[in-house]
A and B are shown apart, each in its own frame.
Chain A
Amino acid sequence: MAAYITRRLAAILPTLFLVLIIVFFLIRLIPGDPAAVMLGPDASPEDIERLRHLMGLDQPLMVQFGRYLLRVFRGDFGMSIAFHMPVTKLILQRLETSFLLALCSAVVVFCLGVPPGILAAVKRNTLIDQFLLMFALLGASIPSFWLGLMLMLAFAVKIPLFPTSGFSSVFQTGNLANFRYLVLPSLTLGFVNSALVARLTRSSMLEVLQEDYVRVARSKGVRESRVILKHALRNAAIPIVTVFSFTFAGLMSSAVVTESVFALPGVGRLVVESVLRRDYPTIQGLMIMIAFLYLIINLITDITYAFIDPRIRYD
């Protein structure tokens, strides 16, 4: 097991390097340059040229790449052109928001996805089942930007229960009340992402409930709730865990739309902002981080499988 983990971790580095190369050259294909964005509408072409020169943007591409690579090996991902702070610091700041949002949304996804999914499987083809299926379908169909705005309209504008937008740090201020900024966004994200989990839980449970060992457990006189929760769920868990972990990864990195609606300073929005502002160092740093995130989550998921299902071994 330990050897397997080490192997996997070692394989991550070359992948990240590949990502870096691809991203570096790809984003420079995008027309427009950061100097123009920084200086704004009043700048004359000479001003822009002067800034480009100052930023080293007129150097040949390979030279720029070489310099960047050297710095990356020292752990320095450069300065964000748009935000004037080290890229690592910038991403970490945004990461806090995205992480907390993902966490809260994951809780919502679980609550809206797993118990109802189990219930629907147990009460198959009844009204409850149909209701859940409709609910899940709705979640998969409703655009997150619209749901978010409607929630905002209802619970922040018309009835001012929650703040409409923005975010105040929880970690830096230690103020737990700042979670109120995350309530509406996590409800939005949670509802939309719970659809898949609910359906998968239901179908996975349905399959498992037909298996022999479930019938055996029932005939042994085990209580029904125990049958479901202990025996069936354990075996149904694998696909649920898969979907859940990738949903979490997705929540971290691609909650762009929800972050945009609620003005949350998260990673998703940072991607859009840095692309619009041609903030090359930030885009590069972000892509590496996202790739890294996915690779790690992949690894953790695989390890979790081994714990859930003793039959799986990684020798």
Chain B
Amino acid sequence: MFKVLWRRKIGLGGFIVLISICLVAIFAPFVAPCDPYQLNPSIRLQPPNRAHLFGTDMFGRDILSRVLYGARLSLITGFSVALLSGTLGVGVGVVSAYFKQTGMILMRINDALMAFPEIILALALLAIAGHASLANVIIALGVTYAPRMARTAYGLALRIREFGYIEAAQAVGSGSFRIIFYHLLPNLISPVIVQTTFTCALAVLGAASLDFLGVGVSPEVPSWGAMVNEGRIYITIAPWVIVFPGFFVALLVLALNLLGDALRDALDPRLRRLV
């Protein structure tokens, strides 16, 4: 893995940034100078100064600390959604490729879902769930991004079918389950890893957008998107409230995208065509 990444230095850069953000998120209680929940209305909306490097927000909370804790939410959401959509997507895609008839119907539904604008789909799912807890957000986004993965998995699984592995295995008498697990899935790992990385990036972006719109998690929890939303009306008098959280969203997503790109180039040159 590392040899591969060494060759693409930019990908390495992305990887390093990602790891740094993860470390910061894990050790946030030790790194953060203040309690991100600590309200202090008397020092609200202060510009960056020595005591508060990123300034304070409308409740007097330290923005730097909230940004550091915000990394937790973004990372947890990103990884969980990637995991969920990956599992769902691969599951649906592979099963569809294996069972041809049902597969075609499933893929039609899949395409319909994929054509639907993402954010609206996520919004609708969240609204139905009732109130937006982290679990609901993860499920909504997971379902929203699963179709992509399903498409990719389906396409690849079909190609593998054509190579004859499947027929051969069937001829020898292997059961469906065995075939799927031992023949189909292992060949999918590389592209799935790549796609998962990209999904993680999309999820971080998507969750931040939902938080920005005010329909994501409760804004008490430090969330980069929610911080930008709360700070919007102060853009003329206190722009730092929105500059920093938004920047970190971009940074994390960029790191994930760089990593995904590097992995794709390294793991399977054929994939360069599949954007």
A–B: direct contact at CB < 8 Å? yes
> Across the two chains, which residue of chain B brings its CB closest to A142?
B250
CB–CB B209/A257 < 8 A: yes
Chain B proximity mask over A125-168: 1 for CB below 8 Å, otherwise 0 = 00000000000011011111110011011000100000000000
A137 / chain B contacts, CB cutoff of 8 Å: 254, 257-258, 261
- Report the contact-size class of chain A (Cβ under 8 Å from the partner): 35 or more
CB–CB B246/A140 < 8 A: no
CB distance from B198 to the nearest CB of A (A): 9
Stretch at the interface among B53-61, B92-100, B119-127, B158-166: B119-127
Q: With A and B bound together, what is the CA distance between A143 and B213 in angstroms?
A: 13
Q: Is the contact region of chain A dominated by helix, strand, or loop, or is it mixed?
A: helix
B3 in contact (CB, < 8 A): no
Contact of B115 among A141, A199, A294 (CB under 8 A): A294
A246 in contact (CB, < 8 A): yes
A140 / chain B contacts, CB cutoff of 8 Å: 201, 253, 257
Chain B: interface residue total (CB-CB under 8 A):
41
B270 in contact (CB, < 8 A): no
Chain A proximity mask over B201-233: 1 for CB below 8 Å, otherwise 0 = 100010011001101000000000100110010
CB–CB B275/A26 < 8 A: no
CB–CB A256/B119 < 8 A: yes
Known contacts A27-B127, A200-B275, A272-B123, A143 near B115 by CB under 8 Å: no
A93 in contact (CB, < 8 A): no
B215 / chain A contacts, CB cutoff of 8 Å: 272, 276
A157 / chain B contacts, CB cutoff of 8 Å: 235-236, 239
Q: Which of A141, A144, A261 has the most CB of B within 10 A?
A: A141
Beyond the given pairs A29-B128, A143-B249, 9 more chain A to chain B contacts, judged by CB atoms under 8 angstroms and listed by A's residue number, are: A27-B128, A137-B257, A137-B258, A138-B254, A143-B209, A144-B209, A146-B242, A149-B235, A271-B120
Hey, which bits of chain B sit against chain A, CB under 8 A?
A: 115-120, 123-124, 127-128, 130-131, 201, 205, 208-209, 212-213, 215, 225, 228-229, 232, 235-236, 239, 242-243, 246-247, 249-250, 253-254, 256-258, 261, 272-273, 275
Hey, which bits of chain A sit against chain B, CB under 8 A?
A: 26-27, 29-31, 137-138, 140-146, 149-150, 152-153, 157, 196, 199-200, 203, 207, 246, 249-250, 253-254, 256-257, 260-261, 268, 271-272, 275-276, 290, 294, 298
